[in-house]
Amino acid sequence: MSGLLTVCIMFVAATKEFVSTQEQDGDLRLVGGTSITEGRLEVFYNTSWGTVCDDHWDGPHAAVACRQLGFGDVGVASSSLFFGTGSGPIWLGGISCRGNESRLDECSDDGWGIHNCVHDDAGIVCGTPVDTIPPIIVSCPNHIIQPMELGAPGSFVTWSEPVAVGDPRTVRLLLRSHAPNEFFPVGVTDVTYIFDDASGNMATCRFTVSVTEVDSTPPECVDVPQNIFETVEKGTAGAVVSWTEPTCDDLSGAANVSTKSHLPSTFFVVGDTIVTYTCTDASGNSEMCQFNVTVNERLTTRIESCPNSTTVITCNNEESVSWDTPMSPSDEMKLLVESSHSSGDFFQLGTTTVFYSVKENQSGEAEVCNFRITVKEARSCPAIPYIYIIIAVSVFILIVSFLLVILKKKANLTADDPLPVNHAYDRVANYRAMDMSQTYTTTVGDGKYATTIYDTIGERSPPFYLAIDESIDYATVE
């Protein structure tokens, strides 16, 4: 009897031990961590384990969970980003803890199984002291200077992004104001990276991107004179030559002539002389332009009179200019003449040098004549010259008048009007319809006369009513 009692006592004790180790609703466990004090938080309810939604999951919630698990009052909250997502039901959502609760199910929540998560599961790290050390940022870029050509609105700029050193499970990039390969306008732009960890510690990386304009384009010479030709009498040393000096144009708007080999209105000896100008901008970029000044001796008197240089005013972009030929007509047929232009040619706005070269034969020396034609734009011009308007209106009136006369004559001519066959029959008052396609003959006395209807009345559709003499017999000739 005593042995049976002992067995019963042992069975009851074992049954109590078994019951005490069974999971209860609201129990917690950690899954997926590297130690027993960390992992994804799971809660037991209704005979199965489920996860906890990490909405608004923070330090006070982690401290309550760690306290319930027996790992102390210190806890760091984390999300499924660090310990992975669970499976099965999500038992708790919308949890709000003050931090002094002994169990997680003592905190307010939305109710068992009520949530708005898709396995965004909460996690904790227990037994860890309060973290006050911010992440450490490495490779924060220095100040970036990006040069670009003058006149461009900006440039694309790239860099190696900074990284933060810390617990890879809790450190994250919180803010990035700009990304590599973005477009930056001219000027200075601040770039900011902010990292934080699960304890709310933050670290900041700041640098600037300066997009600066660089002028590497040389200026341009503007209004460079064409090659200049002057003629002097034989035996003359040279001539004074003038021109309008070129100017400089540049993107910066600040370019000037820095050097010039000759000045206008200076003396040039017989022969060819190269005149050079150099334009330079504020960045030191430069461009050289040049033209030739040629002074020729007049070798003979084959050129009777070289035309003088002339200036004409125009309301168009070009103007026809005429001059007397430098040679006499009798000599021109005997000479070899070359010219850059002909009298009556059109000349564009600006100054053009016209030259004539005259030789007695192919091997002979040439005599040269040069003069300049300058075409300037008039200060004001009528849209259309009045004389052209008057002429156009007059021609229009004449054409309309002529057409009205023609139409009036045709309107007055009808099929019933008498059509004279011949002036010899004007006295006849009778009419007869006759076919235009036939030829008719009449006999008057001993003479025989033929009359062709087509020739008499012109092109009109039959029948034709002709004034004829009924006493005369008309015979039809095929």
What's residue 425's pLDDT? 38
Sheet containing 228-233, strands listed edge to edge, beginning at the edge strand earlier in sequence = 228-233, 286-298, 271-281, 255-260
- The answer to whether the bond into 180 is cis (omega within 30° of 0) is no
Residues 248, 256: Cα–Cα separation, whole Å: 6
Residues near 299 by Cβ (< 8 Å), separated by ≥ 6? 234, 365, 366, 367
Report yes or no: 107 and 130 within 8 Å, Cβ to Cβ: no
Bridge-based pairing state of the strands 271-281 and 255-260:
antiparallel
In tens digits, the chain (478 residues) has pLDDT values of 444 444 444 444 443 333 334 789 999 999 988 888 899 999 999 999 999 998 888 888 989 999 999 888 888 888 766 788 888 899 998 899 988 999 998 998 888 888 888 888 899 988 755 667 889 998 899 999 999 888 888 999 999 999 998 766 678 899 999 999 999 999 999 999 999 988 788 999 999 999 998 888 899 999 999 999 888 887 888 999 999 999 999 887 888 898 999 999 999 999 899 999 999 998 889 999 999 999 987 655 567 778 889 999 888 888 999 988 887 665 555 677 888 899 899 999 999 999 888 876 665 667 788 899 999 988 877 655 566 778 888 888 888 888 888 777 665 544 344 444 443 433 333 445 555 555 555 554 454 444 544 434 444 444 444 445 455 555 544 4
| Residue 50 to residue 374: CA distance in whole angstroms | 98
pLDDT at residue 478, as a whole number:
42
Q: Residue 352 pairs with which residues in a beta bridge?
A: 373
What whole-number distance in Å separates Cα of residue 193 and Cα of residue 154?
A: 22
Q: How far apart are CA 62 and CA 123, in angstroms?
A: 8
